[in-house]
């Protein structure tokens, strides 16, 4: 059909992050000197899409102008989509999700055998907050095996950050087309209509959704002017449009976590030209320039932040997207894998390909884990023992052929019941730490009785017990 019949592998893109872009599929289709003339070139309709309030500060304001063959308002009334999609959530409370501090891990979910497109294959794992209150996030996964047919999806709740793990995505948006391969990510802003085609058939991946705020590049601080994700490596589509009659075309809109449908007789991808800074975009994770420790200790994972959705509190993220790409480990006299820790942030991890340095077994591409607020986690037993066995003289080591990532949030997630009851839940996850044994050696002393601060020591079996002499406070005159 029109979206895929001429979908080239070498699509053209515009480059940059946060730029003001402009593109036209027909030369002269963009109005000059104003946004909404009385009559637009070629008889097009002018339509604005706003990603922020009109009065947001200029540096934060996001909007684009679209010049289209027919305006998007030309459709029948929205009606609830039947049958209902029971596994999408955008407001997390006790009625639809559970709180659990337990470390959770899921094995890769199998691709369904029945025909399933991106919309039907999308399901929520966990989240916090509310799309109605414009504050919060949701984490979804998807498994699909067929392209969307005569329909487009629109998320009115928030932005989608899609991380494909298996199978390419051909995504058609109102701004143009993007090809997104595993190892790349795509951001589809709130309100944009898009369709997902699957040129490779079976597809699987992860989705983070943010309510009320948009993703941006993190500040670099002491790193300086360069490093991490470079703005020029972000790609934005060029204008492309589909014309002609499309009877029965369906717009599926996600609104408050529920799906609604509206019929229209034309494709929503009828935008001949557009300009603005509120746009879909993609990024190749292999272009990320990681920074790392070069002497001692393991850096905090925040050093690997690709994109962040900030809160009003400086340095606190509603959602960080962090990756663990191929890199060298060179720290001396250091336990190089991620350290054991508890975190006021909550961490959802996924694996695109390869292995993860802190989990030697059980964490596979397409799988996921969740370590919630202040729940302890860290390397498994096998990783710890193998690292210790190398000793202090371990030379430089390259972590190769891997791409893991993390969605991290200051909000405490609630987990959906179908995720907790999933047949792909790894109920033995806790076992990966049970084997950690005590390496405590006590005080090293050769004699059975030692005068220590005028105290006494006694050997009791293999344990050395130290009894210190009582401390007498000085007299006060």
**What tokens does 355 get?**
């292995």
DSSP codes joined into one string, 101-126? -S-EEEPPPPPPSS---TTTTEEEEE
Tokens representing 2 are: 């029109």
Q: Which residue has the tokens 């076992």?
A: 431
Q: Is 201 left (phi over 0), alpha (psi -120 to 50) or beta?
A: left
Count CB neighbours of 117 within 10 A: 22
The answer to whether 298 is a known catalytic residue is yes
Task: Give the separation between CA 345 and CA 385, rounded to whole angstroms.
Answer: 27
| 3-class SS of residue 436 | coil
Q: Which of 38, 333, 282, 81 is nearest to 168 (CA)?
A: 282
Q: Which of 135, 298, 364, 397 is catalytic?
A: 298
| Residue in this structure with the two tokens 């699909």, named with its chain if needed | 144
Give CA–CA dist 415/93, Å, rounded. 10
**Residue 341 annotated as part of some ligand binding site:** yes
- Establish whether 45 is an annotated binding residue: no
Q: What tokens were used for 152?
A: 């487009």
Q: Is 377 annotated as a binding residue?
A: yes
Distances from the Cα of 268 to the Cαs of 136, 239, 260, in angstroms?
A: 29, 13, 16
Longest dimension (CA), the chain: 101
Tokens of 144: 């699909």
In whole angstroms, what separates CA 112 from the centre of its chain?
Answer: 23
Residue 347 counted as an annotated binding residue: yes
Annotated binding site: 341, 347, 356, 377
Catalytic residues: 298
Annotated binding site for homogentisate: 356, 377
Annotated binding site for Fe cation: 341, 347, 377
């Amino acid at each position: 059909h029109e979206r895929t019949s001429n979908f080239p592998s070498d699509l053209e893109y515009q480059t940059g992050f946060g730029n003001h872009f402009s593109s036209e599929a027909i030369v002269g289709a963009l109005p000059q000197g104003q946004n909404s003339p009385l009559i637009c070139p070629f008889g097009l309709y002018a339509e604005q899409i706003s990603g922020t309030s009109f009065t947001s500060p200029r540096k934060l304001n996001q909007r684009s102008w679209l010049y289209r063959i027919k305006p998007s308002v030309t459709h029948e009334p929205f009606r609830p989509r039947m049958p209902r999609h029971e596994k999408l959530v955008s407001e997390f409370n006790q009625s639809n999700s559970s709180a659990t501090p337990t470390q959770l891990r899921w094995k890769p979910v199998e691709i369904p055998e029945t025909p399933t497109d991106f919309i039907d294959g999308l399901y929520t794992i966990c989240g916090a907050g509310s799309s109605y209150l414009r504050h919060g996030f949701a984490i979804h996964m998807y498994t699909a095996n067929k392209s969307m047919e005569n329909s487009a999806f629109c998320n009115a709740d928030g932005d989608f950050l899609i991380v494909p793990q298996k199978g390419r995505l051909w995504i058609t948006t109102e701004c143009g087309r993007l090809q997104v391969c595993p190892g790349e990510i795509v951001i589809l802003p709130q309100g944009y209509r898009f369709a997902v085609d699957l040129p490779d058939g079976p597809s699987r991946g992860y989705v983070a959704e943010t309510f009320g705020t948009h993703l941006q590049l993190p500040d670099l601080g002491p790193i300086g002017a360069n490093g991490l994700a470079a703005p020029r490596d972000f790609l934005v589509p060029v204008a492309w449009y589909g014309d002609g009659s499309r009877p029965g075309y369906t717009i599926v809109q996600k609104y408050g976590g529920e799906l609604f449908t509206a019929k229209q007789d034309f494709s929503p991808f009828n935008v001949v030209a557009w300009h603005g800074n509120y746009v879909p975009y993609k990024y190749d994770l292999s272009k990320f320039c990681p920074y790392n420790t070069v002497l001692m200790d393991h850096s905090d994972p925040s050093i690997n932040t690709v994109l962040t959705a900030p809160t009003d509190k400086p340095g606190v993220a509603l959602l960080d997207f962090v990756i663990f790409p191929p890199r060298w480990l060179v720290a001396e006299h250091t336990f190089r894998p991620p350290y054991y820790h508890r975190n006021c942030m909550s961490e959802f991890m996924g694996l695109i390909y390869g292995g993860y340095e802190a989990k030697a077994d059980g964490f596979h591409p397409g799988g996921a884990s969740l370590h919630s607020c202040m729940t302890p986690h860290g390397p498994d037993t096998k990783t710890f023992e193998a690292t210790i066995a190398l000793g202090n003289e371990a030379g430089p080591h390259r972590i190769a052929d891997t791409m893991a990532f993390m969605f991290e949030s200051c909000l405490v997630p609630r987990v959906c019941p179908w995720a907790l009851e999933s047949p792909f839940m790894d109920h033995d996850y806790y076992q990966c730490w049970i084997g950690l044994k005590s390496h405590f050696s006590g005080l090293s002393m050769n004699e059975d009785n030692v005068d220590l601060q005028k105290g006494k020591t006694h050997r009791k079996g293999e344990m050395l017990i130290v009894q210190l002499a009582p401390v007498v406070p000085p007299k006060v005159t």
